[in-house]
Amino acid sequence: MSNFNLTYGISKRTPASGKVLKEILDVQASVNNACAWTHERLSLVAPRESGRAAITLPFTRFGYASGPMTVHPESLVAGSSGSSENFIQGSTRVRDSVWNAHIVAAFLKHVSRMHPGLLFELRDEGGFVVTGSVWIRGGNVEANREFLNRERARALEVTGDPQAASAYVWAELQGLAGNYFLDTTLSEHGPVPELRDLGARWQELEAMSLSDAASLVVEHATKAATPVMA
């Protein structure tokens, strides 16, 4: 059974102001309230003046493949240095819920569109993030090649076997093809409670991907929480 543990944050390269952080945390609260969570909710927190608690990823596994691989992804163990790379960070364990994982990704894409100058990172050790780590800026997703190169070099150093790097080569190819997240259609996943609030018929949604449906839910939650100006 999958066990998705999503770790995410704003890069130190693009620190956010207090006003921007409040806007992001307001959106987070709206999404948390609008969605049903299998285990944990979104958990970005404003950094303390004295610093922030470090959150580490003990290992990374590429758990989803669309083609043959010479090395099983779960055989690779990767270290993490992500805890020192983010200005603000959070983590959400969603167990085996691909839907909840997509809500996390949709939230990050949404707030990155709100603040396109910020650089967000999303990592996962359970296979939801196909490339292990991605950058998100202005709503656009791309593979974190720094992460892939670092972990590829580490795998070679630890094992001494060139085949140990094949999973990272495969992951980078997936990123180049635009395959960043484990995804299915709603018809494969089954009805999602949050979609009932959208007022759309199931026939209009069943062919939609989980990624697109999650984006609709996040946008709807944010609009519903935005006060109407007189």
Note the pLDDT tens digit of each residue in 110-142: 999 999 999 999 999 799 999 999 999 999 999
Question: Is a pLDDT exceeding 80 seen at residue 177?
Answer: yes
The predicted model gives 40-68 an average pLDDT of 54
**Mean pLDDT, residues 47-56 taken together:** 46
Best CA proximity match to 94, nearest among 1, 187, 218, 11 = 1
pTM, full prediction: 0.81
Quote the CA–CA distance of 6 and 92 in Å, as a whole number.
5
* Rounded Cα gap, residues 172 and 195, in angstroms: 33
Is the dihedral angle over the CA atoms 217, 222, 223, 224 positive or is it negative? Answer: positive
